[in-house]
Chain A
């Protein structure tokens, strides 16, 4: 299983700093050249949130969110890849790790590189993608001291979960809407990567608004983060689309986002084109049939705790956005909206005087309502789908 791997010829400082030398730089990099290189590409280093940037309670909560997302992804990946999960996801994680070192020159000595979240989602699917990027982040935190240990939850939530899920959602939507074809997948990959990077920036800004340790006007943070990341997103989108296009050209069957685009194999029988019989493939063993309830209950309890805890903690002090609005006098023009009289108005429960307790209660009630509505929609959709499948199955069984 372990094939003998040769002594890594990459220079230690380079592996350590996730950079590789430019062409012709064959000497061992000195500290100054390392410094120079690190400073040349600040965006890669700074996206890993260090310790002390987000306060402890928010870090703990995002840690729980990240753990939940990882648990869901582990189940999902096992469904996508069955018992091949460990080696395949491990190798894809190694690929993400390596491809982050591939320099794409922009102009005048600056260069960028892939962040990889969107690419992972498109190539191997959302669950495996989340796992791979999270493992890369975990190992970077433990082995390379890149990103704080207490900020691991923030890093995983923002860079692995948000990026991958947003990219996957955009890709799915576009592939459904646009005409089928390989070009569609490439174009959709471009858009997915383009949206996913600023989305991660927005998620980070939200976390900063809740638990940032320094009071910077949240408007400023948002403008700076989103502005920079739109630019990064354009580069990421171009590289992702080109890479996905290159993979589709050779092995379209490997691209998760291009599933269902393969042409059926046709056979010419007596001058007529006939569909070839589908290759018999053993169905993967159903893994996820048993403990849906357990998962559902765990999720419910987690979100209840989160909602109660976060709202309790976030308390009565106005959030950053409200503060900005207040500072600039925007809120004077703001009108009380229509539901200001509803029992949950302003995220507090009427008749409960303690602001924190009331906020917490409102959070819990909100989660309950959301879960009820979501479960209802899910139930209806599932009933429709099973009904549709039954209708589809009936004529085909007659034909046989």
Chain B
């Protein structure tokens, strides 16, 4: 893989978390998020413990806190939505600083904020410690249909190419003095989008012919089978297991 095949969230490193086989990491993150989502929202301390667990993983993976927090910004619009909830939800209302808020809505906002943030943080950690190609291999290993994995890998590999093509079209438009200012200019932009589709599709046809001429017959050869030892599995599954203990405590206490 040459340049342009690492994604923006990836952070190169040699930590134990980086070294884990990708499918164990995928399974661990997914199990962790499922456990977090099924925790009762009243157990506030449980979410604090989850955050501590994630922080521990981050420190083992040597992902700096600043990096993680900056990536968490992706959920900003979502926070705005959660803030609205106490105002629109039903149920008994409490007065906070002169505002009448719904108790139920406050719980709902907390629920979404806590679980959403933990979910985003877990995904960011996964993306920061797993290379793109590894991620695809992991998905394949987890028995995602091979065709779906192939489509995903083509999308990832050519995503940059197509985006770059679009950028060149924009530069071409601008160098001819075009500036999109309102609805009147949608026609031009839509023509660009149409041209981009034709170029993408034709590129797909060329890629297919190139693949056929190299012996492609519908499935990709697997050249580097990833395997995980029992120790690696148990190491990766420490996170969701610890989270499960917290979750069970949350339900019983």
Contact = CB atoms under 8 A, between A and B. Distances in A.
- A and B pair up: yes
A101 B29 contact: no
Interface string B1-45: 111110111000000000000000000011001101110010000
Nearest to B169: A102
A31 B147 CA distance: 38
A129 B252 CA distance: 46
Given A6-B4, A38-B76, A101 B166 contact: yes
Given A5-B5, A53-B116, A84-B208, A102 B192 contact: yes
Contact of A91 (B183, B201, B217): B201
Contact of B4 (A5, A52, A146): A5
A94 B159 CA distance: 5
Interface in B72-95: 73-78, 80-81, 85, 88-91
Interface in A36-92: 38-39, 42, 45-46, 50-53, 55-56, 59, 70-71, 74, 77-78, 83-92
A352 interface: no
Given A50-B119, A83-B218, A141-B123, A16 B9 contact: yes
Interface in B36-84: 36-38, 41, 70-71, 73-78, 80-81
Contacts of B163: 8, 10, 15, 94, 97-98, 101
Contacts of B217: 83
Contacts of A135: 148, 151-152, 155
B236 to A, nearest CB: 16
Given A10-B163, A56-B37, A91-B201, A31 B76 contact: no
A95 B200 contact: yes
Is chain B's binding surface mostly helix, strand, loop or mixed? helix
Contacts of A149: 29-30, 33, 119, 122-123
Given A6-B3, A56-B38, A139-B156, A95 B197 contact: yes
Contact of A52 (B70, B111, B124, B166): B111
Interface stretch (A238-246, A330-338, A353-361, A384-392): A238-246
Given A7-B3, A45-B78, A86 B90 contact: no
Nearest to B9: A143
A142 B149 CA distance: 13
A214 B104 contact: yes
B250 interface: no
B244 to A, nearest CB: 14
B213 to A, nearest CB: 10
A373 interface: no
A85 B36 contact: no
B193 A51 contact: no
Nearest to A148: B119
Contact of A106 (B114, B126, B182, B190): B182
A250 B198 contact: yes
Contact of B37 (A9, A51, A91, A132): A51
B150 interface: yes
A97 B196 CA distance: 12
Interface in A220-245: 220, 238-239, 242-245
Contact of B112 (A35, A136, A146, A213): A213
Interface of A is mostly: helix
B187 interface: yes
B245 interface: no
Interface of B: 1-5, 7-9, 29-30, 33-34, 36-38, 41, 70-71, 73-78, 80-81, 85, 88-91, 104-105, 107-109, 111-112, 114-116, 118-120, 122-124, 126-127, 132, 135, 145, 147-148, 150-167, 174, 179-183, 185-187, 189-198, 200-201, 203-205, 207-208, 210-211, 214, 216-218
Interface of A: 1-10, 12, 15-17, 20, 23, 31, 34-35, 38-39, 42, 45-46, 50-53, 55-56, 59, 70-71, 74, 77-78, 83-95, 97-99, 101-107, 114, 123-124, 131-132, 135-136, 138-139, 141-146, 148-150, 213-217, 220, 238-239, 242-247, 249-251, 254
12 contacts: A2-B2, A2-B157, A8-B4, A51-B120, A90-B158, A139-B152, A143-B135, A143-B156, A144-B127, A150-B34, A214-B109, A246-B193
